[in-house]
Chain A
């Protein structure tokens, strides 16, 4: 469903992604690990359509379409979702209102009917229950004054409501206590289905105990330098990224 080929991206004239290739088939969960500054968040942003990233080479196809030619809100309507590494605060905008506006904008773009306040409330109640998120968060402004962990839970809650086809989770597990980690994993596992794909960016193999990936990639210096099954994450945890540099000299800077 997602085919990234030889992707080169630069920001402010600086090359960040340098020939990244990656393919995700429907139903698969891919994990991406890699050192700080390797370009993991950059990849997430480019896939979601953030401005300011120059794609200098390569292509990205999503469900048979040229993803890069779509506006970010069109990508969202077609099922691309990015859980932010640093979720953004929008003061004064009610969290529920925000999410309903988002869902209805997407539904409208897909030619589906919009949900009224009651239908939406019912939907959120269901999702909250399975994710054991306190509904207090719903009445507050979007991420305003949320703790780090609450922000991450809120991202997962949004994902659960929006039900994307392709979900990119950028370090959604960072800074979470063990219960919250289970919430995140639960959110992903519940959505797992033969049509959906996941790209899970993480620094910790612990998350992968709960979300078992089909493939683990190592992203270093703007490229995928190693791919393998879930045991790769364990090996990395044991040996660190130096291990890859030794095995593939010149791959990582």
Chain B
């Protein structure tokens, strides 16, 4: 790597390309965009709401969230170094200029090309792959595939804006019911300015016939992305949902503050997987996405199950704690996580499992990988309330260190008010040992492949929870993200 960097300064175009290869999705799409000028005030919020032709109740909901946000301060408890964010320097809405497409055929070909480049084909190939995809470009959704098939099954999968127009009663019933507008600083900001995102509704007794997936891409400069996802699964319904994210390489930090709410009614199951690959910044920590996300699932019904799986390799800073509120008796919450930090990346991530119902169960498997000067923190809360008779939790937190300048930290918080509960916690920290590396080398495997093989083995428990195609993608992402971590 150091060799590459030296010739880089000597201006060799081919080498330039090799160096940049680190982040494959760093291109900018040249497309006419309509952007609100930077700044945040009630006028901006009204403008966003008006642009989206929202009902008055929603405009008011946004405004009250905004007023609440004004009274709040950014959280400081995370083990993160965050340069102060100038919220007035951010633009809160950007959309491709051509008007919102009614169907995929009307989508600007340039946008389709962009998603093709990202490996998210919105057209025929998506049909072959059998995954329904919604794609969000800057602040708006540009198309959802497989609409007809899903409709036939009774499943609603559309952009959030469309849901507000077409299914206002569902949105009004569930929006903010899991993550209240004033839940925390970034959730309040999102509630005020959220632009688009996805909505999923699976009615009673329906198993969604295919994987659903959303791709988020930030393209415009100086914009924030504030998407909002809401998934509601009624009694005995099932859904598996995956989100992926990319952004161009820019020297400035860009803010991404999303909110995801999941509601599982009786016997319902939601599997939510994330492959997060926002631009992480360069080797010196310049640029990159601030990924400040609130994700929470509510196991509202008895025997419901919510499972979070995340592979977090991107972003300059990640602040994210996908959580489960285990309200229904016998409900189950799971959290499987791989978080990788290389170069100057920082991650403070983990989960909260709140046990309220009787015999509720939760499982947490967290794998943190730190390389370069990356700082990786697991922060998790397991809370068992008095009502949660016979609750059980198992937590396993493993950290892998690559090199000497990185750090791994584990903060497990456990609060148990119900004496019959069983809470288990295991934690390990290890390094890729010289013995392991030499063993691989002596068998003919080169260092880069040896490291990625060892890291892949370390993440096995989490990868096997991902849908097959995405497990392959996640593995590749780790390889790319680790380039230059060794040697």
Interface contact tally, CB-CB below 8 A: 80
The size of the chain A interface, using a CB distance under 8 A, is 33
Which residues of B lie under 8 Å from residue A52 when comparing CB positions?
434
Instruction: Contact check, B461 vs A76: say whether CB atoms are below 8 A apart.
Output: no
Q: Contact check, B457 vs A93: say whether CB atoms are below 8 A apart.
A: yes
For A82, give the chain B residue with the smallest CB separation: B442
A84 located at the interface, meaning its Cβ lies under 8 Å from any Cβ of chain B in the complex: yes
Q: A109 to B443, alpha carbons, bound, how many Å?
A: 12
Say if the beta carbon of A202 comes within 8 Å of chain B. no
Q: Give bound CA distance, A38 to B438, whole Å.
A: 22
Contact of A88 among B439, B445, B446, B456 (CB under 8 A): B439
| B433, B439, B443, B460 pick with most chain A CB within 10 angstroms | B443
Flag if A73 contacts B446 (CB, 8 Å): yes
Contacts of A124 in B (CB 8 A): none
* Most chain B Cβ neighbours within 10 Å, of A102, A106, A109: A102
> In the complex, how many angstroms separate the beta carbon of B400 from the nearest chain A beta carbon?
10
- Cβ contact within 8 Å between B456 and A102: no
Given contacts A51-B438, A72-B438, contact A92 B443 (CB under 8 A): no
Central interface residue in A52, A92, A105, by most chain B CB within 10 Å:
A92
Among residues of A, the one whose C-beta sits closest to the C-beta of B438 is A50
A51→B438 CA distance, assembly (Å): 8
B452 to chain A, nearest CB (A): 10
B453 interfacial contact with A, CB 8 Å:
yes
Kindly list chain B residues whose C-beta atoms are within 8 Å of the C-beta of A91.
Answer: 457-458
Chain B 406-443 near chain A by CB (<8 Å), digits 1 or 0: 00000000000000000000000000011110111111
Q: How far is the CA of A134 from the CA of B446 in the complex (A)?
A: 29
B459 at the interface (CB under 8 A from A): yes
User: Is A243 part of the contact surface with B, judged by Cβ < 8 Å?
Assistant: no
- Could you tell me the distance between the alpha carbons of A73 and B437 in the complex, rounded to whole angstroms? 11
Among A76, A84, A106, A141: residue with most chain B CB under 10 A:
A76
12 cross-chain CB contacts under 8 A: A49-B442, A73-B447, A84-B442, A87-B439, A88-B439, A89-B436, A90-B439, A92-B458, A92-B459, A101-B449, A102-B443, A142-B457
If A73-B446, A87-B439 are given as contacts, then 5 extra A-B residue pairs at C-beta distance below 8 Å, sorted by A number, are A51-B434, A92-B457, A99-B443, A101-B445, A109-B444
Q: Using a CB–CB distance below 8 Å, which chain A residues touch chain B?
A: 48-52, 71-73, 75-77, 81-82, 84, 87-93, 98-99, 101-103, 105-106, 109, 141-142, 158, 162
